[in-house]
Structure 1
Amino acid sequence: MANSLFIDVHILQTVPPSNINRDDTGSPKSARFGGVKRARVSSQAWKKATRDLFPDMLNEDEIGQRTKYAVDMIAECIDNLLPNVDREQVRDAAEKVLSATGVKVTDGATGYLLFVAPGQARALAELAVESIGAGEAVNKKAAREIFDIKKNPLLNAVDVAMFGRMVADAPDLNVDASVQVAHAIGIGKMEPEFDYFTALDDRSPEDNAGAAMIETTEFTSSTMYRYANIDVLHLCENLGSAQVACRGVEAFLRSFILSMPTGKQNSFANRTLPAVIVIQLRNTQPVSLVNAFEKPVEACGGKSQVEIGCERLGDQAKAIDDAFGTFPQKTLVIVASPDAKALPDLMSGAVACNLGDAINEVALACSDFLAENGYQIEGED
């Protein structure tokens, strides 16, 4: 039995003039790497963009909500079970059952965003209805077990299982993430620029030639290295279902690869797709190839940043595999740019394919791995 099956996702993606992830001053986020300032998009921003695509690929019951108003989620479920009960009584019951889990509730809201699965909200509502019917206080042990994924993993949502949950008031209700997402960084030096623009008032007098507004917007452009990994066994343990875990892997891969954070999109229309995607399956540990770009990449000699970046990726992967013996079990390369066409030949054992075939290959590998480790896929003997 292997420790796990790890899925590494490496992406090179060129983003044109844009400001998709701003800091507190409105400037594009940045980071220093290799002694040079790089463009950066936070992992939180790209995880949110990824989750935004989940409704197209997963059932509604498999998607959680991050909210301060979990009481409202539970109250809606209680209302469905007891439609004739007074609304105030319903909200009071919802607040009491959520408080029974150990989560602190003040004036109907938590003091932080709580990641709640629909199944957990329904189960808490059913427990609240039981307490109302019996005229007794909510069973605190039962309430906590609903949020405890070790005891009730099937109530968990795919995104909660992937990205984890931290409950400051009740650490035993935390969920360890099975997916890690790196901050995307530019493979070359960041060169911030400013767009000076004016706007005219459509109803201004004809003799008024001045602008009604003058502003500047900071932006940048870059070819970015994006990286994420999935611990397949951990994901399955968090969900309690091999079938849902495999579907979750498919949904994450497609969503992460195709997503784009939404900052300033109306101003810049920076809707690009990756130039190249490398998906590697490993049974040792996840391996990022970001150090391929510690020395910033500059387009030169007629080669683009993507072309040089692919050469760097191939060299870095070979160096790591040779040094540590961490050879991937499978490497799939999706080429979506003429500048990336050489990459499959630069990575040992790589198979070139399209995105759909790559995701199917990975899903099959996950299914086989989980079956070998004692997790039955529903519908299979």
Structure 2
Amino acid sequence: MREWLKCFFYEKEATLVINGKSYKPSDWEKIGEGSEKRVFKIKDEKLCFFIPNKWRSEDDWNSKIEAEKYFLDEMTKLGMKTQQFELVSIDISAPNKPTYTIKALTTTDFENLCKEESIVIHNPKGDQRIIGTPPDFMAMRDKFKDKQFVREVFKKFIDEYATAYTFSLPVSALQSNDDSQHLCFELSANPEQPPVVRYMFWDVVSDMGNRALIPIVPTLKELRKGAESYTWRTNDNDALAALASSVAYSIYEMLNQSVKQNIDPFKFIKELETDILSAIDDDAFLLPALEHAKKQAVKMINENLTELSQDQRSNEIFIGLMLLAIPTDDIDLVKRCFQFCSPSDIKKEQVDKVMEIASKYNNPVIIQCIKDNLGTEKEKVQGLKPSFFKQHQVQINEIRSTVSNTM
């Protein structure tokens, strides 16, 4: 990797080969840099490529970019909008030098992406904070007082938030992040249609860490308030307020970038946040988002169940599956999990754990199903001790009688 980088930066006659096409140093330009990556764009093309910055270990670099692509691909499967990467090998050579190869990421540059997909991106930590052409948010400011208008703007965003909560994706309403979450607006060709806000993810590895995408659907109360790890949260709708605030801030940034406005930013953002929150803090608007997240969770859990074999049957696996299945409210999925249960070996504390989560989500059908399948086993556990002592006492009495007759 070091030899590749030396050739890239210092050999003026170097030749770069990406996907079978050759480029000279005059063909590319640097457009961005971070602590781990440098980003270059091929001039007059859409192609960007990411190469290491200050990496000592090639294995670590490869692991980093492979994890980045993996997580973004998994998020895409969940319906989230992500930066689309390809993992490629890039060759470099120079006169009288051998050919060196590294793994790298390629993607479409944001300017072209915004034109192709009719979006505008807010990247609050970027050198270029607004990418694309924003709509005239000032002209539509009063429309944000209309709850139905706001819900049209948020119709995808609230689904994505419920999905993010379910799969522990890095969104600021739920956790502190480095640089994973960004917002974008999808723009309609019809001026009567409002822009649609969405999450957009890239650079997610540092915030995702080694976590797996394990689906645990929140309750409606949790969806409104957010994660308990935010101990400062005291209001029942704090997470929704955070969503409203982040979108209001993005709108202000886009508004201020396109035409410098003589407005008080704090007043503008707070008033817009209030209008948004009054529209989205409504159970009828939130419940479909929860149903959306439940369907995604059921799909993933069923796929994982298909990969499990009966040889892996154990109560530990069963309990883990039930903790995921119960929040989905899918009775068929819950019943399917029982194939991994060993009722004769189940412990009282395991039954109690399942019943605790069932009580939390309070689905009467699922609660009854659990009682029907595990209730008798719990009773057996509770009744085992007295029946044992009763039988033991009979044996003692028989021994005492035998001893007495012989004396």
Q: State the TM-score bracket (shorter-chain normalisation).
A: under 0.3
Q: Which has the higher strand share?
A: 1
**Larger relative contact order (Cα-Cα within 8 Å, sequence gap ≥ 6):** 1
> Larger helix proportion, structure 1 or 2?
2
Q: TM-score, normalised by structure 1?
A: 0.24
Which structure's CA Rg is the greater one?
A: 2
